[in-house]
Structure 1
Amino acid sequence: MAAHQVMKAFVEHKPVLKGIDFTVAPGEVVSLIGPSGSGKTTFLRCLAMLETLSGGEIHFKGQCVATAKPDKTVIRAAQAIRADVGMVFQQFNLWPHLKVIDNVTEALIRVRGMSRSQAVAIAEPLLDKVGLLNKRDDYPKRLSGGQQQRVAIARALAMAPQILLFDEPTSALDPEVRQEVLLVMRALAEEGMTMLVVTHEMSFARDVCSRVVFMDGGQVVEDAHPDAFFAAPATERARKFLNQLSI
């Protein structure tokens, strides 16, 4: 996936993203870090095709899938690959009226056109993968926040995406349950899943990710290997950010 001079403004003349160039290769695990309001989540939502661009282009699998004024070719390309881009949100976004198993199978049935038995055959191993097969018939309200987020990860994986986008997946969780979500994400990284993670979990960015992208003011300020970034950031802005976190 590649972004070329991506811009986004929700209010005219007040850009949130200011011409971002970015690529992620298959198998990479990239963390997007930076202060609040730096544009990380907006950029992720643009990559997920959940926001209309104000400028620039996004390419995926050799095709342009997003522009400021998409034509029919771009729209068709985006529709064709949308299921290949999975997203895990900060607030889980599970359907409260559906059981865990149905949360995971719903898109397989409605989007992929599978029968329920086919969808369940895919969903159950994924729930087992995230350690929640024994919760398959529970409703989300009976789960902890960490369990709900793991269900959300299983739901995203059910569509067999080529890239997974995570928007601060642990920020809504109590400290004691964050680790259970991070362990699932670490396992996915070890299996070779391509991942782009907006996070404040610096230990995850340092120990699991292959690259760290530091954003500030709607721009990419640094893009480096974690060892280099955390040991000796190249910019004063990044050094100040890390010092505030007491890394």
Structure 2
Amino acid sequence: MSYPQLAAAACSGAASAADLAAQRQLSALRAMERGRGCKGDGGGGLFNACRDLSVRIAEVQRQISAGLAARSCSEPSATTQRSARLDRPKVTPAAVTSNATEKPKSWAGKGALTYCVRLSDGYLFPAPHSQFDKTESTTETLAQCRFICQNESVDLYVLNDVNGETADMISATSGKSYAELPTAYNYHESSDFKKCDWAGYVAKVSELRASSRSARAMRNVVMPMPDSRPSRNADMVDTVATATFAPLTDRKVRVVGPAFIFDQGIAPETVQQ
């Protein structure tokens, strides 16, 4: 590996799980860096994926260096080696695989942020009610994320440290970090990138809330029913008053105006002459 201290991590037979996780994370970040063709430059604007990767790699390297320094990596004595071999529990490959994919016990602490992540291109955005979700609401929140994106290939990630990087997010279903996702940050370079329909989700929620309020408002409404049927008298007939009919009389009609009609072919000037 390009980072020589990774090889020295084997100097301690009692390497902690945090050190092993840091090494795996560093390998994943290096693979992402090679895949993106990053050259170590830090330019490119505010949302530069290569710069984010380089910062995260430096942090992981410092973490590994601190772990190695804490263990001092000195050559242990033969007695210490025998004691370590006796005290070390036996771990089968099946157990290693199970621990690698095991979900964290407390993945959403107080104030943890939840993110919807589209697995096809790594596109991420805060989940509904982020920072207020609980472990038991994982299924509901994941369903909301999939509805917003209209896609089943969406996962829910949790960032326990609100000041941490998005690469540190942990999947609520697989327990793996966002940095280990093969398509992490790919949406930055996608030419046909399309956001998920957050506005459509908000409109749908507002519609459902309005209908729910209407149903609750009508729940306690009492519609009065008539006590008795109104009486009807078949002998009564409605009569309609009619106007008195009077025939027209033969009377002369007074005619006002000229007694003749002008010929349409004669101009008015000729008639005046």
When normalised by structure 1's length, the TM-score is 0.20
The structure with more radius of gyration: 2
Which has the higher relative contact order, 1 or 2, with Cα contacts under 8 A spaced 6 or more apart? 1
Greater strand proportion: 1
